[in-house]
Amino acid sequence: MKMKKTLQALAALALLACLTAGSAWAGPAGFDFSGAVGAWFVTPGGKAETLDLDSDLGLETKANLDLWLRLEHPVPLLPDVKVEYAPLKLDGGRASSEVDLKLLDVTAYWHVPFLRAATSDVLDATFGVGARSYDAELKFSHQGQTRGVDADKILPMLYAGARIQPVRYFALVGELRGYSWNDDKTSDAMVKVEIFPFGDYLFMGAGYRYMTLQNADGPRHDDELNMDIKQGGFFMEVGFDI
């Protein structure tokens, strides 16, 4: 677990460094480098252990950090790559409880052949595979009981995405990730609007993201977190595309 937390922290630092330097970086012809930093206003839902995150713990909607970085290139057959990191902390409940959930997604994807050329770059569709690393921890005091439990895993993911950009300064983007096998299940859906008010390289985005994460009912140790989390909310971001 310590090694995975270290990798997640290093990935977050790398993303921050790239986002800071991204607007001043100019890559070789045919390469596209983009990224964003935003706030995701997460509304807690679902269960952790036998406790409902809303009715039992009363966790509140919170603004959480969300970072992503994408690299696309002209090399045939080699996939493009997107990395996203979201350290979520849900607290403020009635029972002195909190949920920490750190998500790290790495996705390799390809574009549907000839679609961008056929639509003059108006429409782009992508598909791929990836991995989700998560580290979840629940600390709670409920009915006189104080306890801390956690769970961490790396799950394979399937990915699909689409982008519609009918005019130069406006785009509609959607992404879907998912995995289900035995008692491990996760899904992640996002739709957003991007506008480019300051030219081609800087953009602002806003949209909605909904995520589920479940590892319930499987073999577990007494100190392993059993969860069926369902949470979503609106988000805003600022980023670059060069």
Q: What is residue 8's predicted lDDT score, i.e. its pLDDT?
A: 52
How many domains, in total, are found in the chain? 1
In this structure, of 100-104, 178-182, 201-205, 216-220, the range with the lowest mean pLDDT score is 216-220
State yes or no: pLDDT of 2 exceeds 50: no
Q: What is residue 106's predicted lDDT score, i.e. its pLDDT?
A: 96
Does the residue 239 lie in any domain?
Answer: no
Does the residue 73 lie in any domain?
Answer: yes
Does the residue 153 lie in any domain?
Answer: yes
Does the residue 241 lie in any domain?
Answer: no
Amino acid at 34: S
Determine how β-strand 98-111 pairs with β-strand 123-142.
Answer: antiparallel
In this structure, of 14-18, 20-24, 159-163, the range with the lowest mean pLDDT score is 20-24
State yes or no: pLDDT of 10 exceeds 50: no
Q: What is residue 217's predicted lDDT score, i.e. its pLDDT?
A: 55
Find the mean pLDDT for residues 97-111.
92
CA 232 to centroid of chain Cα atoms: 11
Query: Which of 204, 205, 203, 227 is CA-nearest to residue 217?
Result: 227
Q: What is residue 188's predicted lDDT score, i.e. its pLDDT?
A: 97
* Residue 203 and residue 238 in contact, taking contact as beta carbons nearer than 8 Å: yes
Does the residue 237 lie in any domain?
Answer: no
Q: Please report, to the nearest 10 degrees, the dihedral formed by the alpha carbons of residues 216, 219, 222, 227 taken in order.
A: -10
Does the residue 210 lie in any domain?
Answer: yes
Find the mean pLDDT for residues 166-171.
93
Find the mean pLDDT for residues 112-140.
93
Does the residue 28 lie in any domain?
Answer: no
pLDDT digits (tens, 9 = 90+) for 89-102: 877 656 567 888 89
State yes or no: pLDDT of 149 exceeds 90: no
State yes or no: pLDDT of 201 exceeds 90: no
pLDDT band at 216 (very low <50, low <70, confident <90, very high): low
pLDDT band at 156 (very low <50, low <70, confident <90, very high): very high
CA-CA distance, 79 to 75, in Å (whole number)? Answer: 8
| pTM of the shown model | 0.84
Q: What is residue 71's predicted lDDT score, i.e. its pLDDT?
A: 94
H or E element that contains 10: helix 2-22
DSSP, res 226: P
Does the residue 30 lie in any domain?
Answer: no
In this structure, of 7-11, 41-45, 124-128, the range with the lowest mean pLDDT score is 7-11
For 6, the domain range is: 2-22+35-230
pLDDT digits (tens, 9 = 90+) for 38-88: 999 998 888 887 778 777 777 778 889 999 999 999 988 999 999 999 998
Q: Exposed, middle or buried, 85 (CB in 10 Å: 0-12/13-18/19+)?
A: buried
State yes or no: pLDDT of 222 exceeds 60: no
In this structure, of 33-42, 45-54, 170-179, the range with the lowest mean pLDDT score is 45-54
Number of alpha carbons in the 13 Å side-chain half-sphere of residue 179: 21
